[in-house]
C-alpha cells in the first residue's frame, strides 16, 4: 500500500511536469520564443565613410552626404509596426515588405526599409518610435557627385553588388548587400575607396532596453583619392560638348596626366547611386544614345585625316619624301578601276601643304610610295591597336589591320586598301584617348606617354609618369609639328577656326566616313605651340564634318583663356 502511494505521488509529479512542458513548449511556445529573442543580443551595424575623390587642386568631385535611413527589427515587427511605418514613411505596406525582402541579410539584424529621409521626417519618426524599439532611425552617409553629368564617366557611380559579381568577389570581403563602384574611378579602385563595417553587440531585455554592451568594432573609413583631373577644364569642356554625341580628352603632353575626359551624352551619377527614381534610372539604362558608354576609352572610330600625321612621320623617317617634293591634286586619283576623291582641288602640294589643307590625293600618292607594311609598322610604334593602359576599366584597344592576318584569312590586300589607310579610313579604328596620346607625341617632340588619371591614393605612393622616347627622327616629328601649326594659321588651313589672338594652337582635323550615316568629326591639337601645356582631342559622332569639332574646340579653348587655365 505504501509503495503504491509513493508510485502515485511520483506519477502525479511527472504528469504535472509533462503537462507544464506541453503548455510551455506547445501552447505558449511561440510567445516564449519571441520573448527569448527579444531578451537576447541585438546587433547594430556601423558603416564607415567611403573615401572621397578630389581633382588635382583638391576640389571635391565625389563627396559623402549625411543620410537619415529607417530600419526595422523583424523579431519585434508586427502589424502595428507595419502600419506605423506605412503612415510615417508615406509608402504602402507592400512596398515596405518589398524593401525588407530586397535588403534582408538575417532576421537578427535591423533591415533597411527606407533610405534618404528628410531631417524633419527622421526626427518625427524617431520621436514617435521612442516606445517602439522595432523602429530605428540611423544616420548614414550617401555618395554625392556635385558636378553630376560632367564627371559621370570619370567617377562612375555606386550601386548594390550584382549576383554575378558576388561570386567573384566574396573571397575579397564583399557580401550580398554591399554597395560597390560601377565604371570610372569608383570601380577602378573600389577596394581602396570602400569602408570596412563595424558595429555593436548589445544585450537587451524584452522591452528592448539595453542591459549590457557585449562587443564593439569600430568602422574603418575608405581612403581619399586625388586625380589628375582639372575640374574647371572638365566643366568647360563638357559645356562645349554637351549638345553633341562625342568625347573630349585633354592630356598633359609631357606626363600623360589626364586633365579632362568627358563623354556626351552624360548621365547624373546621383540618380543611379540613390537608386530611388526607377523611371529616371530606366531612362538612363535604356537610352538609345548609350549614356553609360564612355566614348573616350570604350569606343573606337576611324581616325580619318588625323592619321595623316602618322603617315607623314613614317614617310619622312623612312626617307620616302623630302619637303621639296610635291604631288599635284586635281581632286581625285584613279587607283585600279576606282577614283579616290579629295575634298577639293588643291593643286601642287608639298607635305606641309598637304597636312595643312588635309589633301587626300597627296596622301594617296604618298601612301602608295611608302607601302602598307611601313605604315602599319609606324602605327604600331604609335601604339595603335593596343590599349593605352589607363587606370580606368573598359578600355578598348581599337583595331590596326595586319597584312599577316589578312593572309591567314585568305584576304588580299589591294592598293586601294593602302590608299584608304593612308587617310585613316578602312578597317583602322582608334579611341579618342589613343588620338590624344598620338597628338601629344608631336607636342612633346617624340615621347610616348602612358595616360593616367589617378594621381594618388592618399596615404600611398603617388603615380609616376611613364614616358618612352620613340625612335622616330627629330626632323620628322618637327616637320609634322610645324605643318600642324600651319593648319591653324594658313587662310586655307582646315583648322583655321582655332587661329586665336591670345593662344597659339596647332591642330589636325579629320572627317571620318561611316557608310550611309553622316561622317564623324575630329580635331586633335596642342597649345600653346612653343611650350605646350595641353594636348587635346575633340571627337563628334555623325556631325557631317570636322568643322563642328573645331567649333567645339574653339569654344572650349576660349573658356580656358577666360578662366586663366592656359
The mean pLDDT of 155-179, rounded to a whole number, is 73
Check pLDDT > 80 for residue 155: yes
Mean pLDDT lowest for which of 115-119, 132-136, 341-345?
Answer: 132-136
Is 282 part of any domain?
no
Domain C-terminal end among 171, 200, 227: 227
Q: What CATH number is given to the structural domain containing 102?
A: 3.90.1310.10
The mean pLDDT of 82-99, rounded to a whole number, is 84
Looking at the structure, do residues 508 and 427 belong to the same domain, yes or no?
yes
Please answer whether residues 234 and 80 qualify as being in contact, where contact means their C-beta atoms are separated by less than 8 angstroms. Answer: no
Check pLDDT > 80 for residue 164: no
pLDDT digits (tens, 9 = 90+) for 326-350: 999 999 999 989 999 999 999 999 9
Neighbours of 187 (CB within 10 A): 18
Total count of domains within the chain: 2
Check pLDDT > 60 for residue 39: no
Q: How far apart are CA 365 and CA 363, in angstroms?
A: 5
Give the per-residue pLDDT at 212: 66
Q: What CATH number is given to the structural domain containing 409?
A: 3.40.710.10
Q: How far apart are CA 526 and CA 441, in angstroms?
A: 10
Neighbours of 439 (CB within 10 A): 27
Q: How far apart are CA 523 and CA 540, in angstroms?
A: 9
Give the per-residue pLDDT at 483: 97
Check pLDDT > 60 for residue 103: yes
Looking at the structure, do residues 219 and 302 belong to the same domain, yes or no?
no
Using alpha carbons, select from 180, 260, 261 the residue that is nearest to residue 565: 260
Q: How far apart are CA 256 and CA 451, in angstroms?
A: 4
Looking at the structure, do residues 203 and 347 belong to the same domain, yes or no?
no
Looking at the structure, do residues 305 and 174 belong to the same domain, yes or no?
no
Is 123 part of any domain?
yes
All cell numbers assigned to 409: 584569312
Residues in the chain, overall count:
566
Q: How far apart are CA 393 and CA 292, in angstroms?
A: 13
Residue partners of 551: CB distance under 8 A and separation at least 6: 497
pTM of the shown model: 0.84
For residue 201, the cross-strand partners are: 43, 215
Reported confidence tier of residue 90, pLDDT bands at 50, 70, 90: confident
Looking at the structure, do residues 218 and 255 belong to the same domain, yes or no?
no
Strands of 303-399 (E only): list them.
Answer: 327-329, 332-335, 338-341, 347-349
All cell numbers assigned to 251: 592630356
Q: For the chain, what is the mean pLDDT?
A: 87
Is 426 part of any domain?
yes
Looking at the structure, do residues 186 and 243 belong to the same domain, yes or no?
no
Q: Can you list the pairs that 118-121 forms with residues at least 24 positions away whose Cβ atoms lie under 8 Å? A: 118/68, 119/68, 121/68, 121/88, 121/89
Reported confidence tier of residue 87, pLDDT bands at 50, 70, 90: confident
Looking at the structure, do residues 61 and 200 belong to the same domain, yes or no?
yes
pLDDT digits (tens, 9 = 90+) for 198-252: 766 666 665 555 666 666 677 788 999 999 999 999 999 999 999 999 999 999 9
Residue whose cell numbers read 548589445: 202
Please answer whether residues 45 and 199 qualify as being in contact, where contact means their C-beta atoms are separated by less than 8 angstroms. Answer: yes
Check pLDDT > 90 for residue 24: no
Is 102 part of any domain?
yes
Looking at the structure, do residues 421 and 433 belong to the same domain, yes or no?
yes
Check pLDDT > 60 for residue 508: yes
Domain C-terminal end among 227, 247, 281: 227
Residue whose cell numbers read 552617409: 141
Is 275 part of any domain?
no
The mean pLDDT of 274-301, rounded to a whole number, is 91
Looking at the structure, do residues 244 and 210 belong to the same domain, yes or no?
no
Check pLDDT > 60 for residue 436: yes
Is 34 part of any domain?
no
Looking at the structure, do residues 419 and 528 belong to the same domain, yes or no?
yes
Using alpha carbons, select from 470, 479, 432 the residue that is nearest to residue 451: 432
Is 389 part of any domain?
yes
Looking at the structure, do residues 193 and 252 belong to the same domain, yes or no?
no
Looking at the structure, do residues 89 and 104 belong to the same domain, yes or no?
yes
The mean pLDDT of 111-133, rounded to a whole number, is 77
Q: What is the CA radius of gyration of the chain?
A: 33
Give the per-residue pLDDT at 513: 92
Give the per-residue pLDDT at 412: 83
Is 354 part of any domain?
yes
Domain C-terminal end among 178, 200, 227: 227
Percentage of residues in the chain with pLDDT exceeding 90? 61
pLDDT digits (tens, 9 = 90+) for 476-501: 999 999 999 999 999 999 999 999 99
Q: Which structural domain range is residue 60 located in?
A: 41-227
Amino acid at each position: 500500500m505504501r509503495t503504491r502511494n509513493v508510485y502515485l505521488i511520483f506519477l502525479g509529479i511527472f504528469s504535472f511536469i509533462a503537462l507544464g512542458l506541453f503548455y510551455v513548449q506547445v501552447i505558449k511556445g511561440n510567445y516564449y520564443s519571441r520573448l527569448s529573442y527579444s531578451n537576447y543580443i541585438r546587433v547594430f551595424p556601423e558603416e564607415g565613410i567611403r573615401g572621397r575623390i578630389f581633382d588635382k587642386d583638391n576640389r571635391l568631385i565625389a563627396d559623402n552626404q549625411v543620410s537619415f535611413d529607417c530600419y526595422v527589427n523583424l523579431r519585434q515587427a508586427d502589424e502595428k509596426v507595419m502600419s506605423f511605418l506605412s503612415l510615417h514613411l508615406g509608402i504602402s505596406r507592400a512596398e515596405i515588405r518589398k524593401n525588407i525582402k530586397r535588403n534582408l541579410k538575417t532576421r537578427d539584424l535591423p533591415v533597411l526599409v527606407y533610405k534618404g529621409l528628410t531631417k524633419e521626417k527622421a526626427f518625427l519618426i524617431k520621436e514617435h518610435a521612442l516606445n517602439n524599439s522595432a523602429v530605428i532611425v540611423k544616420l548614414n552617409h550617401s555618395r554625392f557627385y556635385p558636378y553630376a553629368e560632367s564627371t559621370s564617366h570619370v567617377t562612375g557611380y555606386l550601386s548594390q553588388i550584382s549576383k554575378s559579381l558576388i561570386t567573384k568577389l566574396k573571397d575579397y570581403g564583399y557580401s550580398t548587400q554591399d554597395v560597390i563602384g560601377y565604371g570610372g574611378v569608383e570601380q577602378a579602385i573600389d577596394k581602396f575607396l570602400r569602408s570596412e563595417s563595424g558595429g555593436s553587440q548589445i544585450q537587451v531585455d524584452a522591452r528592448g532596453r539595453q542591459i549590457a554592451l557585449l562587443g564593439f568594432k569600430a568602422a574603418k573609413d575608405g581612403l581619399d583619392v586625388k586625380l589628375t583631373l582639372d575640374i574647371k577644364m572638365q566643366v568647360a569642356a563638357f559645356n562645349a560638348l554637351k549638345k553633341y554625341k562625342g568625347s573630349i580628352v585633354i592630356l598633359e603632353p609631357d606626363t600623360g596626366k589626364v586633365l579632362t575626359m568627358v563623354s556626351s551624352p552624360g548621365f547624373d551619377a546621383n540618380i543611379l547611386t540613390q537608386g530611388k527614381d526607377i523611371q529616371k534610372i530606366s531612362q538612363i539604362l535604356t537610352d538609345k544614345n548609350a549614356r553609360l558608354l564612355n566614348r573616350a576609352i570604350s569606343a573606337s572610330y576611324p581616325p580619318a585625316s588625323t592619321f595623316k600625321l602618322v603617315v607623314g612621320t613614317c614617310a619622312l623617317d623612312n626617307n620616302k619624301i623630302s619637303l621639296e617634293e610635291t604631288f599635284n591634286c586635281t581632286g581625285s586619283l584613279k587607283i585600279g578601276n576606282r577614283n579616290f576623291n579629295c575634298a577639293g582641288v588643291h593643286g601642287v602640294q608639298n607635305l606641309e601643304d598637304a597636312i595643312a589643307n588635309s589633301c587626300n590625293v597627296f596622301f594617296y600618292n604618298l601612301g602608295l610610295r611608302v607601302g602598307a607594311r611601313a605604315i602599319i609598322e609606324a602605327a604600331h610604334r604609335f601604339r595603335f591597336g593596343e590599349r593605352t593602359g589607363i587606370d580606368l576599366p573598359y578600355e578598348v584597344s581599337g583595331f590596326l589591320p595586319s597584312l599577316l592576318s589578312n593572309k591567314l584569312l585568305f584576304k588580299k590586300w589591294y592598293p586601294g586598301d593602302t590608299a584608304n589607310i593612308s587617310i585613316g579610313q578602312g578597317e583602322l579604328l582608334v579611341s579618342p584617348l589613343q588620338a590624344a596620346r598620338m597628338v601629344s607625341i608631336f607636342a612633346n617632340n617624340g615621347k610616348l606617354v602612358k595616360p593616367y588619371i589617378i594621381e594618388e591614393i592618399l596615404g600611398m605612393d603617388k603615380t609616376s609618369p611613364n614616358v618612352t622616347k620613340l625612335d622616330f627622327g627629330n626632323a620628322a616629328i618637327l616637320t609634322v609639328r610645324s605643318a600642324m601649326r600651319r593648319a591653324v594659321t594658313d587662310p586655307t588651313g582646315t583648322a583655321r577656326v582655332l587661329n586665336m589672338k591670345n593662344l597659339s594652337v596647332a591642330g589636325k582635323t579629320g572627317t571620318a566616313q561611316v557608310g550611309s550615316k553622316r561622317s564623324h568629326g575630329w580635331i586633335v591639337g596642342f597649345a600653346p605651340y612653343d611650350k605646350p601645356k595641353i594636348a587635346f582631342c575633340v571627337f563628334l559622332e555623325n556631325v557631317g564634318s570636322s568643322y563642328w569639332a573645331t567649333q567645339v574646340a574653339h569654344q572650349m579653348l576660349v573658356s580656358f583663356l577666360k578662366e586663366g587655365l592656359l
